[in-house]
Structure 1
C-alpha cells in the first residue's frame, strides 16, 4: 500500500509585541481538538498556500518588499508572504504588513472574516473591499521547516515574523479556540510541565525568541540574512 503523503506549501507568522512589565510576547493560538494534524497544540497563525495567494491583483497592491521576499524565500516568496498575511486575518483577526485605505465597520469585518473561513469569499475580494496595500518589508523570513514523512499531513512551512498591529487577537472558533500572548520562555516552560502541546518547530522558535528583550530587537535580528533557517 502506498502511504506517501503529499507535501503542501504553507506559511506561518510569529507576531511580536512588548508588554509593559514583562517584555517580549508572541501570539500563540490553540488549534481545535478536531484537527487531525496538531490537535490542541499551540501554534502561530498560519496555514496552507492557496492558489489565489499569487493573484495578480494582490501583486499590484504591493508597495515594497516583494523582490526581497522572493530572493529570501524563492519563486513562491510573494504567494507565501501573502498566505502568511491572509492566515493572520483568518485565524486571529489581525491585519499585518498592510494598510486598509477603506476600513470597514467591525460588523462588516466580522462578516468578511467568516466568509473567508467558510470559503464563500476569497482573499482578493476582501483585499479589494478594504483597499489593502501591502508592504512586505514588514515581514521577516527566518526559518523553513518540513513535516517528517508519514501520515496524516505534511507541510513545507516558511516562518515569518512581524510586529503585532493594534487591536486584540480573536480566535475564530473553527481553526483556533484560544488566544495566548505568551512570553516565549513561559510557553516553553508550560510545555515542559505538560500543560500545553507544542510542535517541534514552534518550540524551537520560542526558544530562539526567548533570548530577545523586546520585539524591535527580535525583528531587527530576524531580518538579517544570517539568521538560522532549519531545513
Structure 2
C-alpha cells in the first residue's frame, strides 16, 4: 500500500506498522523488545527498533479472512504488525501450541521468499487475533530520508515460551531491556534510537508491568508526530 508523495518531497510515503512487544522481566518489571537493524540498511541502519515494516498489499486480504477484527479500519496494519513480529523476531501471537522446529522452518521460508505470509498462516493453522494489538501512536517520517513511512504503533504482550530471535538479515540482534535502561544506553552512546522509538520508550517508563502498560496505552489515545 502506498500513498502519494508529499508536495515537497519526491519520496512516496508508505503505510507501515510497528509493535512494542512487552513482557514482565526481573522482579515483574516491564521490559520491551528491541531489535538492532543491520548496518547495511538504507533506512535506520544500526538503529535499535521495535519489530515493524511496510504494510503489504496482501495484508488487507488476509485480514479479511478473520471474522473478529476484519472490520477494523486498520485491520491491514494489524495484520502487518503480526507478520513483522514473526519475520523479524520469530514471535507468533497465537494461542495454539506449535512445534518449534516447524515454526522455524516456516519463518526461514517466509524470509527467503519461498512462502507468502498467507501460506504460513494456513500451514500452521494460525488463529491470529486482530483485536489484540493495542494502537497508541502514529508517526510519519519527515521529508529528507530515502524512505518515508506513515507508521501506526501498536503494543502486544509477548507470547509465552517463545524466544525472540533476530532474523540475521534485517535484524542482527534481539534484546529485552527495561525502557529506562534503553534510554540510558542511548544517552551514553551505546544504542541509537530514532525519535519515535525514544518517545515510545519514554512513555513506557511510566508503567511498572505489561498489564499496566497495555491498559495505559489503550486509555491514552494517539500521539501524532514527525519521526
CA RMSD of aligned residues (A): 1.7
Deviations 1:52-84 (A, max 9, x none): 1112x5422x353344x42xxxxxx11100000
Alignment TM-score, normalising by the size of structure 2: 0.90
User: Match for residue 99 of structure 1?
Assistant: 95
Of 134-143 and 87-96, deviating more is 134-143
User: Match for residue 25 of structure 1?
Assistant: 31
Alignment TM-score, normalising by the size of structure 1: 0.88
Match of 2:69 among 40, 65, 70: 65
| SS at structure 2 position matched to 1:15 | strand
User: Match for residue 78 of structure 1?
Assistant: 75
Evaluate the alpha carbon distance shift between residue 191 and residue 22 of structure 1 in structure 2; reply closer, same or farther with a 3 A threshold.
farther
> As a proportion of its length, which structure holds more strand?
1
Number of equivalenced pairs: 217
Match of 2:200 among 197, 205, 209: 205
Q: Following the alignment from structure 1 to structure 2, what is the Cα–Cα distance between the partners of residues 100 and 6?
A: 38
Q: Following the alignment from structure 2 to structure 1, what is the Cα–Cα distance between the partners of residues 137 and 207?
A: 17
Task: State the shift of 1:11 in Å.
Answer: 0.3
Q: Following the alignment from structure 2 to structure 1, what is the Cα–Cα distance between the partners of residues 27 and 100?
A: 30
Q: Following the alignment from structure 1 to structure 2, what is the Cα–Cα distance between the partners of residues 99 and 51?
A: 26
User: Match for residue 155 of structure 2?
Assistant: 161
Task: State the shift of 1:133 in Å.
Answer: 1.4
User: Match for residue 4 of structure 2?
Assistant: none
Tell me if structure 1 keeps the 8 A contact 2:138–2:222: no
User: Where in structure 2 are the equivalents of 1:1-231 lying within 5 Å?
Assistant: 4-21=10-27, 23-55=29-61, 57-60=62-65, 62-67=66-71, 69-70=72-73, 77-96=74-93, 98-100=94-96, 103=98, 105-166=99-160, 167-224=162-219, 226-231=220-225
Deviations 1:71-127 (A, max 9, x none): xxxxxx11100000000000000012x3347x3x32322221111112221110000
